Homo-oligomer: A and B are copies of this chain.
Amino acid sequence: MTAGTKGHPVATLLVSCRDRRGIVAALAQLLYGHGVNIVDAQQHTDASVGQFFQRIEFDMSEMHTDRVALERAIEEVAARFGMSYRVKYGGKSNVAIFVSRHGHCLHDLLTRYRLGEIGCSVRVVISNHPDLEEVARHFGVEFQYVPAEGEDGRGAESRALQLLEAHEVDLVVFARYMQIVSAEFVKRYEQRIINIHHSFLPAFVGQRPYHQAHERGVKLIGATAHYATADLDEGPIIEQDVARISHRDAVEDLVRKGRDLEKIVLGRAVRLHLEDRVIVYGNKTVVFE
């Protein structure tokens, strides 16, 4: 179902608006009129808030107009229905990965990257520790050591922002990045920072969730990938999963089992985002798998 499997360039249109009759017909008609073929379409209506969402994947190889004409047409329909929308023509997103000392998520993401699982261009790995430089190098990715400076770490943050701009980064991934970032930073990359939290949110927010889980005596541990927001661990959830544990598992075992969860949950969330399958509304997500 991914873009790469068809052989043709595939584009996506993500749409969200108040639910009304005729939206589906208007968009289908529009695309048909331009000679564009709908490869996949998924829609959702949240009846409780009256909101409509749609993701359309389309093939432009036999389009008989051009992008400018198509976009003008989409804009017109969008205006008529009061839609927010986003079109993407299948170019690769630029990604930056932030890490601290735990390398398992970085390793896993870069392996997926090399295997072509996540279609993007990983431009830079940024870390507040020098430890994982060799991992980035092994995969041929630039590594930047940006140590926290001063009391509030703002120096480091502005250095990081410069790097993101220099690399024209579209998506930031916090792959177990243990440094707190400012509300401004988050705002600047709103809905474009994915964080992995090592618990089944909203259980065990904050520090040392595996210790909290062990203390509470739960029988499952979890991991949560979510968009970063100013309130830590409160952002829209993209993906979650859990693994079974027992009284036999010490905190060290939870950490070990949790690593597998974190890798897989983060990998899925990054892929879903890069394939334009996620729409945020309120503090929730629609995920068109």
Q: Which A residues have a C-beta under 8 Å from some C-beta of B?
A: 1-2, 5-6, 21-22, 24-25, 28-29, 31-32, 35, 37-48, 62, 103-104, 107-108, 111, 115, 117, 138, 200-204, 216-220, 222, 236-242, 244, 246-253, 256, 259-260, 264, 267, 282-287, 289
- The answer on a CB contact under 8 Å between A48 and B250 is yes
Task: Indicate the member of A6, A24, A251 with the most B CB atoms within 10 Å.
Answer: A24
- The answer on a CB contact under 8 Å between B6 and A247 is no
Cβ distance A248 to chain B, nearest Cβ, rounded Å: 5
Protomer copies? 4
User: Contacts A200-B220, A240-B219: A25 and B21 contacting too (C-beta < 8 A)?
Assistant: no
Task: Indicate the member of A219, A242, A250 with the most B CB atoms within 10 Å.
Answer: A219
- The answer on a CB contact under 8 Å between A217 and B203 is no
In the bound complex, residues from chain B placing their C-beta under 8 Å from that of A2 are: 252-253
- The answer on a CB contact under 8 Å between B240 and A220 is yes
User: Contacts A115-B104, A237-B219: A247 and B285 contacting too (C-beta < 8 A)?
Assistant: yes
**A267–B62 Cα gap in the complex (Å)?**
45
In the bound complex, residues from chain B placing their C-beta under 8 Å from that of A250 are: 1, 5, 47-48
User: Contacts A1-B249, A47-B250: A285 and B217 contacting too (C-beta < 8 A)?
Assistant: yes
CB-CB nearest in chain B for A265: B219
- The answer on a CB contact under 8 Å between A242 and B220 is yes
CB-CB nearest in chain B for A283: B217
CB-CB nearest in chain B for A31: B25
In the bound complex, residues from chain B placing their C-beta under 8 Å from that of A246 are: 287, 289
Indicate which residue in B22, B40, B282 contacts A43 across the interface (CB closer than 8 Å). B40
6 A-B interface contacts by CB (under 8 A) = A1-B253, A24-B38, A42-B43, A48-B250, A201-B218, A247-B287
Indicate which residue in B115, B285, B289 contacts A248 across the interface (CB closer than 8 Å). B289
- The answer on a CB contact under 8 Å between B45 and A43 is no
- The answer on a CB contact under 8 Å between A260 and B253 is no
Q: Which 10 A-B pairs have the closest CB atoms?
A: A217-B284, A25-B32, A25-B28, A203-B203, A28-B28, A219-B240, A247-B286, A21-B37, A138-B138, A24-B28
